[in-house]
Structure 1
Amino acid sequence: MKGYIALEDGTVFEGESFGAAGEAVGEVVFNTSLSGYQEVLTDPSYSSQIVTMTNPLIGNYGINEDDIESSKIQVSGFVVKEACSYPSNFTSQKSLSEYLRENNVIGIEDIDTRALTRHIREKGALKAVICSCDSEISKEKLVEKAKAWKGLKGTDLVKEVTCSKAYSWDSTEVGEKKYSVVALDFGVKYNILRILSKLGCQVKVVPAHTSAEEILSYNPDGIFLSNGPGDPSAVTYAIDTIKELIGKRPLFGICLGHQLLSLALGGTTYKLKFGHRGSNHPVKNNGNGVVEITSQNHGFCVDTQSLSSSGATLSHTNLNDQTCEGLTWPQKKLFSVQYHPEASPGPHDSGYLFEDFITMMEEQKHAETKQKQVQH
């Protein structure tokens, strides 16, 4: 079966289908990770995106149930140079092509992914249509459909990926749960919840539209703002909620959570030309000068200058393009990062940030206990 990816600028790449048959629209982007394709596929931050992997061979270790980051595949389409049809790993339960077909997601191989990636770097992330079929199709019509799609800018995709109702994270981690954390689900990855649980947190996950009043009614020790897809400026209800939460409890944000927190502080965001996606991005910790290799997945970014009068300071900087990768405001008990310290996939250089969150909650609990003792 033939496969096509048609871009809004008229460029069309032709290959072979290895996933489901059909047609889907999305923003075509590229990811430079050498492995971790299963985590990429199931990351909700990739909603409405067609992901191109730059590593030429994908699928060689198959698919297993332990490494998923959400309940289903989240990408609109998947593009590779070569899809391995005979995975070899003791954890493998099925092939990549079987996994895509089960989830009704289109996959295309035998594409010149190097050429496609260079095209995206030159032109920027583009609206696209991915198609696989066993009959002749009109490439011109595919291009027109790509042009007609509304795109990501100004679109609230959080409502497509957030949970429908609050739930407690069912952890297999043993040990005492010393801290209560409410996680606002903008498209949260499972590994974030796993790490918080492992560090002694009882995590309550709530939908993105949950009010500040309801969040505080759980009496949490801390509040987590998750990753997620799309344009942060379109998620106005979450920005308003975060404004009400600032200063009430320790806050920690990742990816979209970082962007929404920045907007709540009075900052602005803008769309990057082709975004940051991969597991090898260097970020400088401005506090200690250490360079961390990070996992990233975002197409929008916080304008650092827009936060100059907010009270928050720039804590981390991207060394590739000097963009904002983190902010902190100790007096308000909040901090956030643009990248993914939970990895999955990627390096674990930034895992200390979760421990920083634990420390912040512990200090807050200690201060509250001391204040109660003084009052009595």
Structure 2
Amino acid sequence: MTPDTADSIAFQPAQRVRAIGVSEILRITDHANALKRAGRPVIVLGAGEPDFDTPQNVREAAVRAIERGDTRYTVLDGSPAMKAAVQLKFKRDNALDFALDEISVSAGAKQVIFNALMASLNPGDEVILPAPYWTSYADIVQICGGVPVSVACAEANGFRLDAAQLEAAITPRTRWLFVNSPSNPSGAAYSAAQLKPLCEVLLRHPQVWVLADDIYEHILYDGLAFATPVAVEPRLRERTLTINGVSKAYAMTGWRVGYGAGPRALIAAMAVVQSQTTSCPSSISQAAAIEALTGPQGIVAERCADFQARRDFVVAALNRAPGLHCRVPEGAFYTFASCAGVLGKRTRGGTLLQSDSDFCRYLLQDFEVAVVPGSVFGLAPYFRISYATSMSQLEEACQRIIAACDALE
């Protein structure tokens, strides 16, 4: 085989994925875990995964499903029992009524998002992403042929999008607005009063649909009431997809069950996409998710209280570190702290810190703490910490971060 022949048969990725890599969050986490396996005492604060176990009653429901032989394919986009559990959840928690054919169940909330965009976007359609945003949003939009439109949301406004920004971002090509509350990565949450002006803008632009990612709904602090767009403005119902899942509130990340509710035509189109990808979600995982959604809910509030204690500790610690500043997030299990005050300084090794990525690299290499730079989420110079880990780990990590800032020249 000649070199020319070898070049001609080399793999060429499709255009839709050439500019997209594996999630930067996963890449950072994998690198940090590799360092741990090599014997270094790295503390990984990158992954958005609760450290709690799946509740006992949920695990037992899965075992019962296996024992009675519920191990076959289910209905394409969720079993009737699973959809009924989702229906109950929306009515109980959000005062929203959805028919079973207005509900879709997939292998995680991420697949619900993918199905919706694959089913609705044409090449060049725009999707407004308030930044900072979960990094996968932009990549999924691009894979599905759309154009992500990032709108920077100032820390002074709580990292929330305001009505004027939304109005300015909408064009004739705008197809979707994403609203993630509480937010990954900032922990920012919208109250009903804060959502209302955004809804009023959307009412003036009937071509714009709303994707409400409510996956952190039950991780909300300080007595704040949860709000979701279609509950705030029912007139948006026929162009809103409300997404949720069991991964975060019920510590079921590996079970891979997410769900969405919206207009029948969209749900039907999403089913077409799912039919040609994963088919149905796991039957065992659906049995577990049914128990999570319909069983006792007390453990959710208990764990939320634990998360709030961790939040309070991490925010206070970061605000003691020279050059760092961290606002108090309203929900989720992340802090999104500014590192602007350390940029322009040098490490003891002489490295100049010019960006949030430089600072995060310094923390990992010199102080063995893995965090994610804000630039990954579309807004710099910040960094995200996931405090979904033990308090002892958080205490040690924060000590190292403070020491890292103290060591800068």
TM-score (normalised: structure 1):
0.30
Higher strand share: 1
TM-score relative to the length of structure 2: 0.28
- With a CA cutoff of 8 Å and minimum separation of 6, indicate the structure with the bigger relative contact order: 2
Higher helix share: 2
